[in-house]
Structure 1
Amino acid sequence: MTTVARWAYRLSITTIIDKERSVKRPKTHDPLGPLDFVTSFFATLLGVLILLVTASAIFGWGGSTLGMGGESVCVTTDLRTFGLTEDPYGDVRKEDGIHRKVSIDPDGTQLCDGDPGLRQHASSGLTQAPSAIVFFAFVLLTRRIIRYARRHGLFSVELAQRITRLGWLLLAGLLMAGFLKWLGEGLLLSSMVDSMSWTDGSIGVSVPALIGAVGVVSIGRIMIRAAALQADSDATI
């Protein structure tokens, strides 16, 4: 290679490098940052709550925790289930001057037992504790997935499988929590009202949460397919 050719080659390489340096690269953000912040916040909140509950149990501060341990237990029901009239608030209408054309929905009436036993406390716990446990478990498992992704990268079959399993666990947990809430409400109502049975509880499953759980499963499956395609591409290259 002649001197001129060497000089031209070096000049071309230098020009290409300068152009690459001059290209303004888009600013990238941590893809896991927002999720990491939110789950870290709730995980910290969970730790504080556990400490408070433990301290309350040790020092006897009283109060109710997830529907258990209070001086009374309450359940919300629909007064129409007692066979009352469509307008059970006739006296209230007269005292407060509520017009007859204004409807009062008896749904959402709260019944409270001021002297609950162990069964009532346990039933009350079923109405609140399962949903809280599912939420806290989801937060902690998500934290584990974030740590795994930071160590092993975002595009791996194992990470995608973990996300898929998380979605299925969340879906099952939500359905189970809804069933236990229905059972707990029914047991409370049957212990407070003779005319009601344990099957009179209400179903309380969050439809958006169910859709979100199915979405997590779908994202995991998409990532499994993408990781497989990436592996095939790397093997081809």
Structure 2
Amino acid sequence: MNLLTFFVGLGLFLTALIVPLTLIGGSGTVGIEGDRDGQLCAHAGDLPVEDVPTKGDYSEQIGEVESRVDVVPIELLVCEPLKGLDHKAVKYSLKAMTEVPTFAVYLVFLFGIRRVMIQTDRGGPFGHETARLLTRLGWWLFGGLIAATLIETTAESLLIGTMVKGQTSGWAELDFPAVMILGALGIVGVGRVLKQGARLQDDVEGTV
């Protein structure tokens, strides 16, 4: 096992250990990003900048700003106290589904990267199996991120629908991780290049 494979494995272990702890935080808080203490919150979109009050004391969060500088808090959260929360299991499940799918995609991706590294050590970078694994890994990341975004947006919409009558976050809030999706296609491309390299290597070995 080389050093890089070891660190990938360590990252997998820490991720599997830390993330579940962040999903259920302490002090009665559902500890997913964007929550307030003791409340379950969903992101309902961003307010138009021109409609947001720009004066306020945010020194505790960001420090003191210059007198001519405005602070624009545009994130709109819909929050409900955890105490006395009705349909708690449903709302907790929906809240988890706004975060878990992307985490699962990346976790499987890390396992796949580790497997590719091990296979590279065994058969070299231009092995057919290495190329196949890398190509499949790229397609997994590509399709997984798209599916995870759709699932998380739907879950957030349904969660908001349980707290605001007749309102959901809607499909307008779809936010695909474009950079990572393009990176996934790049991984597929690299896998195909390695496949061609493996074929050329077979041809060279066949002529020797």
TM-score (norm. length: structure 2): 0.75
Whether the 8 Å CA contact 1:185–1:200 is kept in 2: the answer is: no
CA RMSD in angstroms comes to 3.6
- Cα distance in 2 between the residues matched to 1:162 and 1:122: 33
Offset, 1:197: 3.1
Asked if residue 107 in structure 1 is aligned to residue 74 in structure 2, the reply is: yes
Correspondence for 1:210: 181
- Cα distance in 2 between the residues matched to 1:104 and 1:190: 30
Offset, 1:44: 2.4
1:96-135 alignment to 2 at 5 Å? 107-115=74-82, 116=85, 117-135=88-106
- Cα distance in 2 between the residues matched to 1:226 and 1:45: 35
Asked if residue 87 in structure 1 is aligned to residue 58 in structure 2, the reply is: no
- Cα distance in 2 between the residues matched to 1:64 and 1:228: 52
Deviations 1:94-128 (A, max 9, x none): xxxxxxx9777563122211134222212211111
Whether the 8 Å CA contact 1:87–1:104 is kept in 2: the answer is: no
| Secondary structure at 1:192 match in 2 | coil
Q: Supply the AA of the counterpart residue of 1:78.
A: G
Runs of 4+ in 1 over 4 A off after TM superposition: 50-53, 60-63, 65-68, 101-106
Q: Supply the AA of the counterpart residue of 1:232.
A: D
Larger relative contact order (Cα-Cα within 8 Å, sequence gap ≥ 6): 2
- Bigger radius of gyration among the two: 1
Correspondence for 1:27: none
Asked if residue 64 in structure 1 is aligned to residue 30 in structure 2, the reply is: yes
TM-score (norm. length: structure 1): 0.67
Q: Supply the AA of the counterpart residue of 1:72.
A: Q
Give the share of equivalent positions with the same residue, in percent: 25
Whether the 8 Å CA contact 1:72–1:113 is kept in 2: the answer is: yes
Match of residue 197, structure 1, among 168, 174, 177: 168
- Cα distance in 2 between the residues matched to 1:185 and 1:38: 34
- Cα distance in 1 between the residues matched to 2:99 and 2:78: 16
- Cα distance in 1 between the residues matched to 2:156 and 2:20: 28
| Secondary structure at 2:173 match in 1 | coil
1:178-197 alignment to 2 at 5 Å? 178-197=149-168
5+ residue gaps, structure 2, are: 57-67
